[in-house]
Amino acid sequence: MIFRISIFPSEMMPLHPWLRSFIPAALVLLAPHTRAGKPEFATLDMARAFQSYHLTVMARAKVQEARKALQKDPRSETIKLLDVELKDLKTQIQNPSFTEEQRREYYRRYVTKNHERTSLRSEHEQYLQEQRNLINRDMVRTTRTLLGDVRTIVQKIAEEEGFDHVFEVSGETSSQLSTLIYIRNATDLTDRVIKELNKKQSKEKVPTNSGG
């Protein structure tokens, strides 16, 4: 079974191993002990509930801002300027109108600038990778917390209304088919869960952009 949950809809991908183990655990918690008599079933589109949660929208906006900030790192512009300078120095080195001594001087400057560019590029790439790792780790922690919020609300509704089992329907098999093919007389709790999740939403405008 493949669960595809992400703060960014465009980045839907198989979850990290700990999240794959987290969701089945959540589903067990969503299923109170079956009562005597006929069991009551309900379903939940976990992905839709998660993406519709206002805190998910806010988390998405936070990640977008962090990614934009990385693009503004001044080292990237410095590297571009060094590329231009190196190209110009290379042209001067190959220019036959200059004396041998002048070309050697240009070559010396080229070597120095190229070393500067290589070092700066390596430093910049390392910084970007470290920051991306931090952003991704924060996304994983946030996803875990928000999925826990969804689980709590579903369990609350299920217990209050007497549902014995709640089945998650947004998961897919390796063949991209829903894991739940058919269930009789099941109540879809998705819209009610979304309403409950957003009940305490701040009156402040919540970002709605979903790009990555």
Q: Strands (DSSP E) along the chain, which ranges? A: 41-44, 165-168, 187-188
Give 186's pLDDT tier (boundaries 50, 70, 90): confident
Residue type for 13, please?
Answer: M
Q: Quick one: pLDDT at residue 168? A: 87
* Residue 85 · residue 113 · CB < 8 Å: yes
Confidence of residue 201 (pLDDT cuts 50, 70, 90): confident
Residue 209 lies in a domain: no
Higher-pLDDT residue of 136 and 211 is 136
The amino acid at residue 199 is K
For residues 30 and 36, give the distance between their C-alpha atoms in angstroms, rounded to a whole number: 18
Question: Rounded to 5, what percent of the chain is helix, strand, coil?
Answer: 60, 5, 30
- Residue 13's pLDDT is 43
Give 11-58 pLDDT, tens digit per residue: 554 444 434 444 543 454 444 444 556 788 999 999 899 999 999 999
What CA–CA distance (Å, rounded) separates 102 from 95? 10
The answer to the question of residue 105 being in a domain is: yes
Quick check: is 203 in a domain? no
Residue 207: inside a domain = no
**pLDDT value at position 15?**
45
Report if residue 179 sits inside a domain. yes
> Which token pair is 174?
């390796």
Highest averaged pLDDT of the listed ranges 18-22, 76-80, 205-209: 76-80
Dump pLDDT digits (tens) for 91-117.
Answer: 999 999 999 999 999 999 999 999 999
Q: Is the pLDDT of residue 80 over 60?
A: yes
Question: What's the structural domain count of the chain?
Answer: 1
In order, the DSSP letters of 35-48 are PSSS--EEEE-HHH
Residue 34 near residue 179 (C-beta atoms within 8 A): no
- Whether residue 75 is contained in a domain is answered as yes
- Cα 208 from Cα 47, distance rounded (Å): 17
Question: Residue 108 belongs to what domain range?
Answer: 9-197
Tokens of 108: 């010396």
Residues 115-165: tens digit of each pLDDT = 999 999 999 999 999 999 999 999 999 999 999 999 999 999 999 999 989
The 3-state DSSP class for residue 170 equals coil
Neighbours of 74 (CB within 10 A): 8
